[in-house]
Chains A and B, each alone.
Chain A
């Protein structure tokens, strides 16, 4: 009954650039070989590709000649980068340029939104960590924007958005996040593995009955260690006493991790995800164009 929006990724039609078959150049090269040298199997010939090799239609008749014909999108080599530059690549680069322009147009935040409550942001690629200090405690929340956009399961809505692009659902990034609470006097942190239930993401007509975010697991971990100890007892909340669960939620709320925080985290994550998506498209464009 609950709705969830997802990114409608327009699949960029990647054109596979097939390398010219080595065997198609064999006949011409064979003609240059001294008669005493036995012809090598085509696959191991140590020749590098040349414009002549790629563009030559060769003297061979039959289907192979057609594969290299100019009517079949002859690849162009123009920059000496050692990569192919096909008509497909050109179309791909044009598509990417348009896509980047469109994405920039709809980008809500030119710079990342700030979290209220004195949280400081640290970024490492797709990973984000926000940290605040409250009364001798350090609270850090980390998340990764990769795979943070829930898949669409509302086909009707997706179809509507395809018919009318103005109705396109908003893309929202709802990453799992980890809250670490560290007390100064101890060398261990209390770690909460939290997530956004998928059914809360949408804003449909139905009554949504999931919490904004939920705690999935709780454990103690050594402070400052990136790898968690598998031997630490991990409390899973699936079968937990609800009263204990509520106390854990109140514990987080007292440290600034509440529903308002969760909303702001979604906003930050969505902006970061979009920023990284545009960066990826730009890098892809440069890679395809080779400049």
Chain B
């Protein structure tokens, strides 16, 4: 199965092949190659609009996940029997927001995209961070995935949930 990548924004120049390669590596590490995934790169305006529409928060953000399986228990993989069901959902990446944050914190844009993408995929797999317990579980999963990613690439990426839960 494949990764559908869309770039709907004009603000940040985006290397599609680089993003796909990084996300593909995450997918292999997480053992979800049999599932389709959608990544949609959007600007502040659009992610703010989506954030307002679905979360009633009229602010731009870094990532919004729309799971295909909404009631998935964290840590479980969907039990897809038909090909149509081999889909985890879509992740909207607020690339303008992320790019700005990277500029402020002098972090690498594509490395940060990988961290954000890992966070988004965890949400598609049922992980949440509304309670401390949920956050711990999600942080643990992100850490495990990124440790393996770091081992493959020689990078030192840290989970997005490292310093907060909400």
A binds B: yes
With known contacts A250-B15, A250-B16, A242–B6 Cβ distance under 8 A: no
A225 at the interface (CB under 8 A from B): no
**For B5, B9, B21, B90, which residue has the most chain A Cβ atoms within 10 angstroms?**
B5
Taking the complex as formed, is B17 at the interface, i.e. its CB lies under 8 A from any CB of chain A?
Answer: yes
CB atoms of B6 and A246 under 8 A apart: no
Query: Contact at B2–A211, with CB atoms within 8 Å?
Result: no
* Cβ of B29 under 8 Å from chain A: no
Residues in A with CB closer than 8 Å to B20 are 242-243, 246
Interface size class of A (residues with CB under 8 A): 10 to 19
Do A259 and B7 have beta carbons less than 8 Å apart?
Answer: yes
**Is the Cβ of B9 less than 8 Å from the Cβ of A250?**
no
A243-256 vs B, Cβ < 8 Å mask (1 yes, 0 no)? 10011011001000
Task: Note all chain A residues with C-beta closer than 8 A to B38.
Answer: 209
Contact A246 B10 (CB under 8 A): no
A211 with B9, Cβ < 8 A, contacts A246-B17, A246-B20 known:
no
Instruction: Say whether A243 contacts B17, CB under 8 Å.
Output: yes
Q: Of all chain A residues, which has the CB nearest B17?
A: A246
Give the complex CA separation of A243 and B13 in angstroms. 18
In the complex where A242-B2, A243-B21 touch, is A208 in contact with B16 (Cβ < 8 A)?
Answer: no
Q: State whether B17 touches A211 (Cβ < 8 A).
A: no
CA of A253 to CA of B16, assembled, Å: 10
Q: Please list the 4 inter-chain residue pairs (A to B) with the smallest Cβ-Cβ separation, ordered nearest first.
A: A246-B16, A246-B17, A259-B10, A260-B10
B residues sitting closer than 8 Å to A (CB atoms) are 2-10, 13, 15-17, 19-21, 24, 38, 40, 46, 50, 90
List A residues at the B interface (Cβ < 8 Å).
200, 207-212, 242-243, 246-247, 249-250, 253, 258-260, 263
